[in-house]
Amino acid sequence: MIFSKKIRECVEGANNNASIRLHANENPLGSPDIIQTGQYVLSLLSLYPDPTYNALRAAIGERWNINPEQIITGNGSDELIDITLRSLLKPGARLTAPRHSFMMYKKRTDILGALYSEIPVNSGRILPEDLKEAVSHKPDILVLVNPSNPLGHYIAPSEMMSLVETIPPETTIIIDEAYAEFTPDIENTAGIQIVHKRVNSICLRTFSKAYGLAGLRLGWAYVSTDLYPQLEARRAPYNVSALSALAGEHALQDREHLFKTTEYCLSWGRKLVDLFEDYGVKANAQYVNFVFVEFDSEERSREIQNSLNSEGFLIARLTDYSLDHCLRISFGPREQMEKLFSVLEKELKA
């Protein structure tokens, strides 16, 4: 057996736990079958990975038609955020992001002693005048998370490119595309287009969401040539395990699993948004694997959360984002989602 008795017990316990994990934006269909077999694992356990990750970078480059020499591998996109900000953000510098952006950016900015400022968001959109005002403060880094987490909004490449054209070249642009594979523009995302055309730019991607490899911690950055040496120098050797790197190569080949995942999430997103809106509750799930729900009050949000918790569901209440009246509910396997739908329908009627 590949796993020790202790590890098997942990895995089985996680699978059989009474809690239903709809709080962490994991892949509802799991990882591709080719990875679940684990047939290639044993030969890797005693070997260090290739420190250049050439095979993985070549696979990513071939899949997305980008230069492998501009790709940096990471232990999840969280590590790549850390590498980027430690490389580029000095004490007293400024990072600017749309309001309610992925919290890791603010956390790392605060740790580094830099300034964090926000751009107002209007129904998921960044208004040109608000962006102009933000740029007038000369941020060192501008972050755009698209599709957004936790708001669940998406900005099409044409609109994103128009926004970016107004940013001066001395400002580093980070396009965080953790959910890019869920979008209709999967083959030519805004982030990749921007790095193609602009100096001082970075596109971040992950295998955690659409590919179902959250437990293996694997991400990658596509970096403009002027920034690449500086960021690559910050990457620790062997920062990605041999198993994770090979799993990434295999996952890129399984387009059927990717298609099933994205279609499944889009379907459940529409069902849940329709359910909430039928009861007068605002909700959004645009090209992501979760639904963002905005209640009229913090009290109502807490009531729904408590009801779901009592039925075994773990969901995310967005207090860390200063959205005390909002919930984020991830998508799980069909049986879990059908139970969720039933419980929500009952509670929303009450």
Band the pLDDT of 6: cuts 50, 70, 90: very low
pLDDT digits (tens, 9 = 90+) for 234-261: 999 999 999 899 999 999 999 999 999 9
pLDDT digits (tens, 9 = 90+) for 289-324: 999 999 999 999 999 999 999 999 999 999 999 999
Give the span between the Cα atoms of 60 and 189, in whole angstroms. Answer: 14
The mean pLDDT value of the chain amounts to 90
**Which pLDDT belongs to residue 28?**
76
CATH no. of 18-31+256-349: 3.90.1150.10
Q: 252: which residues sit within 8 A by CB, 6+ positions away?
A: 59, 60, 63, 211
Give the span between the Cα atoms of 292 and 269, in whole angstroms. Answer: 10
Nearest to 80 by CA among 108, 99, 57, 122: 108
Q: Which CATH architecture has domain 46-253?
A: 3-Layer(aba) Sandwich (3.40)
Q: What is the mean pLDDT of residues 183-208?
A: 97
Band the pLDDT of 78: cuts 50, 70, 90: very high
Per-residue DSSP letter, 182? G
**Which pLDDT belongs to residue 1?**
38
| Residue 147 vs residue 41, higher pLDDT | 147
pLDDT digits (tens, 9 = 90+) for 85-111: 999 999 999 999 999 999 999 999 999
**Which pLDDT belongs to residue 34?**
57
Residue 176: is its pLDDT beyond 80?
yes
**Which pLDDT belongs to residue 19?**
80
Residue 2: is its pLDDT beyond 60?
no
Q: What does the domain layout of the chain look like in residue ranges?
A: 18-31+256-349, 46-253
Of 28-32, 200-204, 232-236, the least confident = 28-32
**Which pLDDT belongs to residue 209?**
95
Residue 13: is its pLDDT beyond 60?
no
Band the pLDDT of 25: cuts 50, 70, 90: confident
Q: What is the mean pLDDT of residues 45-57?
A: 90
Give the span between the Cα atoms of 269 and 291, in whole angstroms. Answer: 6
Band the pLDDT of 18: cuts 50, 70, 90: low
**Which pLDDT belongs to residue 37?**
52
